[in-house]
Amino acid sequence: MKEFDGKIALVTGSTSGLGLEIASDLANRGATLILSGRREENGRTALSEILKVSPNSSFIRCDISKPEEITKLFSEIFSKYGKLDLAVNNAGLLGTIAMIDKYPDELAHAVINTNVAGTWLCLKEEVKLMKVNGGAIVNVGSATSLVGYKGNAVYSATKHAIVGLTKSVALEYAHKKIRVNAVCPGVIETDMSDIILNAFGKPEETRKIIEGMHPLGRMASPGEIAKSCIWLLGESASFVTGVALPVDGGWTAV
């Protein structure tokens, strides 16, 4: 008997990087996965690997910045599976590295629509599917959910909002046995970190600066963050809700 046998799990932004790592870990622990993301080809490739260990899993394309696509996503989940036990709201947009007076307004709105409005709408649909049997939700925040972030104020603001959503929804649905937590990672070695490393045209120098922001002296691997999400979703964390868990190599301890 595996830890998540019989559980239906949604991971948004799961066609690559951290999201795919979380989805793969859940599948290996017995869950049936719904992969979701904007990139159809990447999603199909990811699904082909997941199906090897979780044969009833599926991929549903969804851009969470578009409310109509979120509605369609959850309609398909209910139609195919009839329930949802676990959810990881991982989809997000970094934006760019720029001081606030230089930050493009259009991009700022895109970051807000994805990271805040998109996560809010996903939470809204997730709790509807969990009201009867309960469940567990993990929102992926950031170390910048807990401290300021010079050079990307809008991203930090949206990740602060993730913590507010997490704590509020945890309080609203605790009586329905729905646990809601957030994981707040430092910088992870993924495609998203490449945006930061290449922002100033000096990736090696930038890497040293970023690694130095973490007292442990390095960036996180996707697997390290995924394991934290798995713990929050599982029975080992059955009395944990409303928590914003830093997994940041000591960044926010400074």
Give buried/exposed letters for 104-138 (b at 16+ CB in 10 A, else e).
eeeebeebbbbbbbbbbbbbebbbebbeeeebbbb
Contact status, residue 16 vs residue 191, Cβ threshold 8 Å? yes
Contact status, residue 90 vs residue 13, Cβ threshold 8 Å? yes
Lookup result for tokens 């629509």: 113
Q: Which of 103, 149, 155, 173 is catalytic?
A: 155
Catalytic site residue 81? no
Supply the residues annotated as catalytic.
155
